[in-house]
Amino acid sequence: MARDLSDPGQSLLEFLTERHLATLTTLRRNGTPHVVPVGVTYDAGTRIARVITSGGSAKARHVREGQSRVAVCQVDGRRWLTLEGAAVVREDAVSVADAVARYARRYRQPRENPARVVLEISVDRILGNA
């Protein structure tokens, strides 16, 4: 059973530090979903989720085109967690470097990408089941 979690609790926050991929859902201009696998990091203190990507990716394009409502879902067996919120594309070097460092701590150092941007998601809804 899904629970709307304003305070997800320690076990679900720990789940967001384990090495799992997630899916990111953005919306195309016509409203249809675009779902892709991503690495995601989450800062519980600021309620910000971050996804690094190339600036020319469909996900970055959808957010730039005004389809800013997104969802990131991580699943492992019966455990799952969805972070929903409004995304913005950050291109400045400080934001990108911060997101890359967070990604490297959770997953591994990503390959070099001079076109890299970060989707910064202000999480306003957390759903999950652990």
Per residue in 65-103, pLDDT (tens digit) is 999 999 999 999 988 999 999 999 999 999 999 999 999
User: What are the angstrom distances between the C-alpha of 55 and each of 6, 31, 37, 75, 89?
Assistant: 31, 21, 16, 26, 9
The yes or no reply on domain 3-129 and CATH 2.30.110.10 is yes
Which letter, b or e, does each residue of 96-117 get, where b requires 16 or more Cβ atoms within 10 Å of its Cβ?
bebbbebbeeeeeeeeeeeebb
Between 72 and 127, residue with greater pLDDT: 72
| Residue pLDDT, tens place only, 102-112 | 999 999 999 99
Name the pTM for this structure: 0.90
Q: What is the pLDDT of residue 9?
A: 64
* Residue 112 one-letter amino acid: E
